[in-house]
Copies of this chain bind each other. A is one copy, B any other.
Amino acid sequence: MFTLHPQLAQDCAVVGDYPICRVLLNKQFSQFPWLILVPKRTGLRDLTDMAEQDYLPVMEEVRAAHDTLRDLSGADKMNMAAIGNMVPQLHIHLIARFKDDACWPKPVWGNADPSPYDADALVKMVETVRETLDLSPVSE
């Protein structure tokens, strides 16, 4: 049974579900809207550990979330990555970057100081993303 890795659960707010991926919002970095997609499958680490029938549908979910986040944020550039050297549960980063953000043009990992959403802003952002991505609510 799928459960979210504790580190992802700690750092992120759950936004909602695509058919295959759970969509998270990184709570720690309000300066660049940052979604994380986690396929709701067990035992995945590398991107291609997904079953063949999941891989392309997940890539379609990635595309939809990517473009919606780009439109929503007005990003100058989108960054997409599956790294997972530290958190051993497959998760796909989608990050809206801006030419005036604090670590541009460096990648965010290891280069950005946290700037958490305040409570109201977090609730608003999660609702906005859930609605614009047209995600299902998470039932557990």
Interface residues of A (CB under 8 A from B): 45-48, 55-56, 59-60, 62-63, 66-67, 70, 77-86, 97, 104-107, 109-111
Kindly provide the distance from the CB of A123 to the nearest chain B CB, expressed in whole angstroms.
28
Q: Which residues of B contact A82 (CB under 8 A)?
A: 79-81
**CB contact between A78 and one of B46, B63, B78, B110 (< 8 Å): that residue:** B46
How many Å lie between the Cα of A52 and that of B21 in the bound state? 21
Kindly provide the distance from the CB of A11 to the nearest chain B CB, expressed in whole angstroms.
16
How many Å lie between the Cα of A10 and that of B38 in the bound state? 36
| Nearest chain B residue, comparing its CB with the CB of A50 | B63
Given contact pairs A59-B59, A109-B106, A79 touches B70 in the complex (Cβ within 8 A)? no
